[in-house]
Structure 1
């Protein structure tokens, strides 16, 4: 497969919103304040794309198969968030491809020294993926429900 990352476009909004099948899934992915269903016309505003640009992973046919965002949090740190792979293609290694491309894009500036993310503790598949990519738990910043993870610049 030859996937590639590009900035999210309005034509991707409906596909990504359709991956969310419940208010609980939307809350876990996007956080409080994002409605379910997520209307494609409100996608950019709800996800604050102006401040936190979004990126899509496109497959070899140009189909949107993954989405993620990153934004600066502290000096030298980019936080990755709202990472999702289309339910129709999960289990094919696209989560790894998305994370590698997103991490590379987020680390594009020499000023970026560290990447961080949060993941629900019960999402064992994502935790295994992130650990395999060099992310380590940061217990001091974690909660009972969410694991905070960080890695040095990849």
Structure 2
């Protein structure tokens, strides 16, 4: 049983996403490409990096990234090229500046607002109904005192 699990984990591993024909001859350049591709999202697979994805589009992005690095682009230039082509969606961790600040801080702010509203509702004293008869009001006062 353990062997079957180990085989399944090896087959399902993302280490096989990068094909041997994609790997660059220069180990330093290949490491840069792997580091960059781990921070880029696969447009097909959603929250999976192009380094982990087996999708054809992810393969094309890996190849394009490696071509840019071989042509002499810096890491930032290569990433900027892909962002210009596919939008900020390809970044697994988008910048936290500009309009993205709203996205980064909206959830915590909404949580704080919800907690404040909840606290206010819980702490508000319950109002006694005005349509009670005098006997019902007396009984209510008796219950509240005990």
Q: TM-score range by the shorter chain?
A: under 0.3
TM-score, normalised on structure 2?
0.24
Whose strand fraction is larger, Structure 1's or Structure 2's? 1
TM-score, normalised on structure 1?
0.23
Higher relative contact order (CA 8 A, sep 6+): 1
Whose helix fraction is larger, Structure 1's or Structure 2's? 2
